Amino acid sequence: MQFEPKIIAFLCNWCSYAGADLAGSLRFQYPPNVTVVRVPCSGRVNPMFILKAFFTGADGVLVGG
Amino acid sequence: MPRIGVYICHCGENIAGAVNVEEVRKYAEQLPEVAIARDYLFMCSDPGQELIKQDIRAGLVDRVVVAACTPRTHEPIFREAVAEAGLNKYLFEMANIRDQDSWAHWHDKEGATAKAKKLVASAVAKAAFLEPLEDRFVEVTPAALVVGGGVAGMFAALDLAGMGYQVYLVEKNPSIGGNMAKLDKTFPTNDCSACILTPVMVRVGTHPKIKLLTYSEVESVEGSFGNFKVKVRRKQTYIDWDKCTGCGDCVNACPARIPNEFNEGMDNRRAVYIEFPQAVPKKAVVDLEHCLNCGKRTIGTAPRIHSKTGKPILAPCERACKTGACDRSKAYDPEGEIIELAVGTIIVTTGYRVMDKAPFKEYSPQSPNVVTAMQLERILSATGPTAGHFERPSDKEKPKTIAFVSCVGSRDKRHHTYCSKVCCMYMLKEARLIKEKYPETDIYIFFIDVRTAGKDFEEYYNYCRNLGIKMLRGRVGGVDELPGDRLRVRAYDVDLGAPVELEADLVVLATAIEPAPGLAELGRKLGITCGSEGFLKEMHTKLYPVETPVRGVYIAGCAQGPKDIPEAVSQARAASSAAAVPLTFGKIVVEPLISEVNQRKCSGCGTCEKLCPYSAIKLVEDKGRLRSHIDEALCAGCGVCAAACPSGAITLHGFTNAQISAQIKALAS
């Protein structure tokens, strides 16, 4: 079976989260193995969140801001 | 223990077409702390909202999760519904299973369903940690700022001023009027542009509630919705506008000659100039970059004294000025003046510019007889370089054959992929004006598609065709200069299926509409973004077309995208009514999603104070120790402090550590 990484994305509400919405409304297709946590600013992303994601089973973390 | 209600929206087919809603509902039902899971065709509709309200009123649920579209548009709607049913509106969370799931994974139904489950689980996990919060209210400054004094900005300003609010209208040029002031006639009624625009300019200029700030630009924007603090730089005019009467004597005396921007470079203006004869305010400015400094005397220095007469030797402009407005010995500050404004709402109407012909090497831009449509507009205009006489630039002869080239820079991957929207109609208009006046002129319009959607536009098009204006479908490959100031147009006629050549006396390029220069920078100052094509992005194309993601900032006219005058004015008036709502209400709700310091945990290290981008945090002495203090009015809720606090003393409400950690756990496992 092919390896499917589990990716968690922390996206800033004002830019990259809006970008992810726009990608959807333009029907850009991408794999569904990325799930988003909405944050008010990428500055809200405590490094502990990233570590926590890896500890609890994520294979990759994306911070967008 | 919380009782969470999960409500899954089908969004018609938008979600249900990719996500197996029933499977997600069943999955949600068995999640811990979920009391009920329902689905409905349109959750945001009245019956959909009623489902949620009934469950709250029946005491079945005390927290609500809606799995639907994006919280960026629909969170306020559902929060309102939750509040109506008597629950604190911050005990609500959304799972974005449309924009970021079904739409993006349309062909992977299994993947989309699995992702929807995860997103619902994440929202449910967060919901368990939600806390009730109370809205805050902020007083609104009853004034508005309009940036850009074209037709859109003028109407936005007039509407707001008419409602009784103080309006500041900032315009970067010396006069208001914008691009419309350059036009000859306007489609589809062929109204004279000046006849309909100049009275509006006068009304704007004389309205007691409108403060005109022309030759000015926005320097910085601080504060937030309801209470913006805007610094405007009033550029140095080097003329005392209090004394200037706009008589134009200084202009006539000036010996310098510079290409005239208002006439699209087809004639010259002076270094001291009035932008155009109908300018409002009708005041002169000195273009210092091109000033010849007559008598080798720079501005701000005293005149030399004539050895014989003993009188000062004045520059021609000074000598001509009868009111003392032009005084070159005055030490003007070249940086101009900074004016600080306090406003509640801001409307951006910065308009557009038309592309220059220079980048289009294939169309012989070096030939004076290849002109842009805006240049032709000036040639046709009674206030233009030819005083309305229809003549071509090279030899002042009346052209007998004219070729229009459409989509120059528009719908072209090398320049702009978008359609400039107005070119088809203005080409037809210009062709019609010429044909009606000089029926013997042969006019050819080369087009790719004729786009005349709009009220009375198609009728206008048919009228033009009946006048004998020839329409040829095909892109023009090149324009060559021929002896005798003639031009050869080479094109491919799609209908004939063959290349065609045509000799013309004048070639008109319908160049693309572009965002006004500096728009991206202005957007950054206001916190709003431009789309890929460089125009400002509205909050929602259909439902919130004049709003932006920044509350209190609205957009209208060509700053938002190419559009014609009727559309720009409609949008401007929509923006003014949207901008008036908070001014009328007098106070605005501020979401309590801001940071709070636990004074007992705070060590007073000051890390947060240094990092806060809004200068909302100060260290304050409390019982002999320094403690971090957050100014609620300034905090924008970014959470940088909460992430950085080494003591874990800061909580960002709505995005707490516990809430985000629960989401991570639900998504990663």
Position B631 pLDDT exceeds 90: no
CATH 3.10.450.50 fits B354-514, yes or no: no
Query: What mean pLDDT do residues B445-467 have?
Result: 96
How many beta carbons lie within 10 A of that of residue B532, not counting itself?
9
Residue B527 is predicted with a pLDDT of 85
Distance from B119 to chain A by nearest Cα, in Å?
Answer: 7
Inspect the interface and report whether the beta carbons of A8 and B112 lie closer than 8 Å.
no
Q: Where are the domains of chain B?
A: 4-127, 143-231+341-350+516-587, 236-335, 354-514, 595-653
Amino acid occupying residue B110: E
Model pLDDT for residues A32-46, shown as the tens digit of each residue: 999 999 999 999 999
The CATH number of the structural domain formed by B4-127 is: 3.40.50
Chain B hits for A43, CB-CB cut-off 8 Å, are 611, 613, 638-640, 643
Chain A hits for B655, CB-CB cut-off 8 Å, are 39-40, 44
Residue B138 is predicted with a pLDDT of 87
Nearest residue, CB atoms, B642 vs list A25, A44, A56: A44
What's the pTM?
Answer: 0.84
Mean pLDDT over each residue of chain B, to the nearest integer: 95
Instruction: Determine the Cα–Cα distance for residues B519 and B534; give it in Å rounded to an integer.
Output: 8
Determine which of B115, B614, B638 to mutate to test the interface with A (most A C-beta atoms within 10 Å).
Answer: B638
Mean pLDDT over each residue of chain A, to the nearest integer: 95
Q: Answer yes or no: is the ipTM higher than 0.90.
A: yes
Q: Return the SS3 of A30.
A: coil
Chain A hits for B98, CB-CB cut-off 8 Å, are 24
Could you tell me which residues come within 8 angstroms of residue B271 by beta carbon, excluding any fewer than 6 positions away? B254, B256, B258, B286, B287, B288, B290, B291, B292
Window 29-58 of A: residues touching B by CB (8 A cutoff) are: 29-33, 35-41, 43-49, 52-53, 56-58
Distance from B593 to chain A by nearest Cα, in Å?
Answer: 9
Query: Taking a C-beta distance cutoff of 8 angstroms, is the pair B250, B320 a contact?
Result: yes
The CATH number of the structural domain formed by B143-231+341-350+516-587 is: 3.50.50.60
Q: Is A60 on the interface with B (CB under 8 A)?
A: no
Chain B hits for A18, CB-CB cut-off 8 Å, are 72, 549
Among A26-35, B142-151, B208-217, B616-625, which stretch is predicted with the lowest mean pLDDT?
Answer: B616-625
Instruction: Determine the Cα–Cα distance for residues B194 and B381; give it in Å rounded to an integer.
Output: 9
Model pLDDT for residues B522-540, shown as the tens digit of each residue: 999 998 888 889 999 998 8
The CATH number of the structural domain formed by B595-653 is: 3.30.70.20
CATH assignment of B236-335, given 1.25.40, 3.30.450, 3.40.50, 3.30.70? 3.30.70
Q: Which run of H or E residues covers position B648?
A: none
- Do B4-127 and B595-653 fold alike per CATH? no
Inspect the interface and report whether the beta carbons of A44 and B593 lie closer than 8 Å.
no
Query: What mean pLDDT do residues B617-633 have?
Result: 89
Closest CA relative to residue A47, chosen from B587, B644, B430, B20 = B644
Position B298 pLDDT exceeds 80: yes
Chain B residues touching chain A at CB-CB below 8 Å: 70-72, 96, 98-101, 103-108, 111-112, 114-115, 118-119, 122, 527, 529, 549, 593, 611, 613, 637-640, 642-643, 652, 654-655, 657, 660-661, 663-665, 667-669
Could you tell me which residues come within 8 angstroms of residue B78 by beta carbon, excluding any fewer than 6 positions away? B43, B44, B49, B52, B64, B66, B92, B94
Distance from B103 to chain A by nearest Cα, in Å?
Answer: 5
Closest CA relative to residue B254, chosen from B241, B242, B238, B265 = B238
Q: Is A2 on the interface with B (CB under 8 A)?
A: no
Nearest residue, CB atoms, A41 vs list B639, B654, B668: B639
Which chain A residue has the Cα nearest residue B105?
A29
Cis bond upstream, residue B281 (ω within 30)? yes
How far is Cα of residue B257 from the mean position of the Cα atoms in its chain? Answer: 34
Query: What mean pLDDT do residues B21-38 have?
Result: 97
Nearest residue, CB atoms, B661 vs list A21, A35, A52: A52
